[in-house]
Amino acid sequence: MPDFSDPSTRFHPLRSDEDAPIETLMAARVRAALTWGQLQGRLAHLPPEVAHQFCAALARLLLVEALAGSGFSGANSWFSAWFAGLEPVPDATAHVAAPASLIADTLLAELSLSAWAPLADTATQIRAAAHFHRGEGTHAQHHPQHHPQQDQREDAPAVAVAEAARLAEPPADDRTDDPGDEPGDDWPLAALDRLHRAAAASPHFAPTERSYQLLPLPAGPVSFEQTRTATPLWALDLLAGPLIARSAPATRPLPLPGAVRAEALRPELWPRERAILTAEAAGKTAQRLSDQLDAAHASVRDMQEAMTVLRSTSRAPLLYRLLAGFGPLRPLQIEKALGVSKNGVRDLVTALVKAGLAERAAHGHHTIIRALPRAHRAAPAAEGESRSVETSTDATFAAFDAAMADIDRLLARTGTASE
Give pLDDT tens digits for 53-90. Answer: 999 999 999 999 999 988 888 899 999 999 999 988 87
CA distance linking residue 280 with residue 256, whole number of Å:
13
Angle between helices 48-69 and 234-247 (to 10 degrees): 140
396, part of any domain: no
Q: Are residues 319 and 252 in the same domain?
A: no
Q: What is the pLDDT of residue 333?
A: 96
CA distances from 168 to 158, 161, 165, 245, 251 (A): 15, 10, 5, 12, 17
pLDDT for the residue 169: 87
Q: Is 363's pLDDT higher than 70? A: yes
- Are residues 34 and 160 located together in one domain of the fold? yes
Same domain, 145 and 242: yes
Helices (H) and strands (E) in the chain, counts: 15, 4
Q: Decide which of 276, 299, 322 is a domain's last residue.
A: 299
CA distance 124 to 108: 7
**Residue 255: inside a domain, yes or no?**
yes
Looking at 299, 320, 348, the residue that finishes a domain is 299
d(CA 221, CA 190): 49
Residue 126 lies in a domain: yes
Same domain, 53 and 202: yes
Query: pLDDT grade, residue 369 (50/70/90)?
Result: very high
Q: Is the confidence at residue 308, as pLDDT, over 60?
A: yes
One domain, residues 273 and 335: no
Range list of H helices, 70-116:
75-83, 100-111
Counting the structural domains of the chain, the total is 2
Please name which of 275, 70, 259, 59 lies closest in space to residue 182, comparing C-alpha atoms. 275
Name the percent of the chain lying above pLDDT 70.
Answer: 69
| Any domain includes 411 | no
Q: Indicate whether 286 and 202 sit together in one domain.
A: yes
Range of the domain at 349: 307-372
Task: Tell me the CATH number at 327.
Answer: 1.10.10.10
β-bridge mates for residue 359, sequence order: 370
Query: 202 and 97 in one domain?
Result: yes
What percent of the chain is predicted at pLDDT more than 90? 53
In a shared domain, residues 57 and 176: yes
Whether 130 is in a domain gets the answer: yes
Does residue 388 form part of some domain?
Answer: no
Inside any domain, residue 384: no
- Residue 208: inside a domain, yes or no? yes
- Name 224's bridge partners: 213
User: Closest Cα to residue 168, out of 230, 112, 110, 109?
Assistant: 110
**Within this chain, do residues 247 and 329 fall inside the same structural domain, yes or no?**
no
Residues 90 and 125 in one domain: yes
Domain endpoint, select from 282, 299, 316: 299
Q: pTM of the full predicted structure?
A: 0.78
369: part of which helix (H) or strand (E)? Answer: strand 366-371
Which backbone phi and psi does 5 adopt, to 5 degrees?
Answer: -85, -20
* Whole-angstrom distance, CA of residue 320 vs CA of residue 366: 20
**Domain match, 172 and 317 both:** no
Residue-averaged pLDDT of the chain: 80
Interval 149-174: pLDDT, tens = 444 455 789 999 999 999 998 766 55
- Give the H or E element holding residue 292: helix 271-306
**SS3 (DSSP) at 225:** strand
For residues 27 and 114, membership in a common domain is answered with: yes
pLDDT at 386: 36
Q: Is the pLDDT of residue 233 over 60?
A: yes
In this prediction, residue 203 has a pLDDT band, given cuts at 50, 70 and 90, of: confident
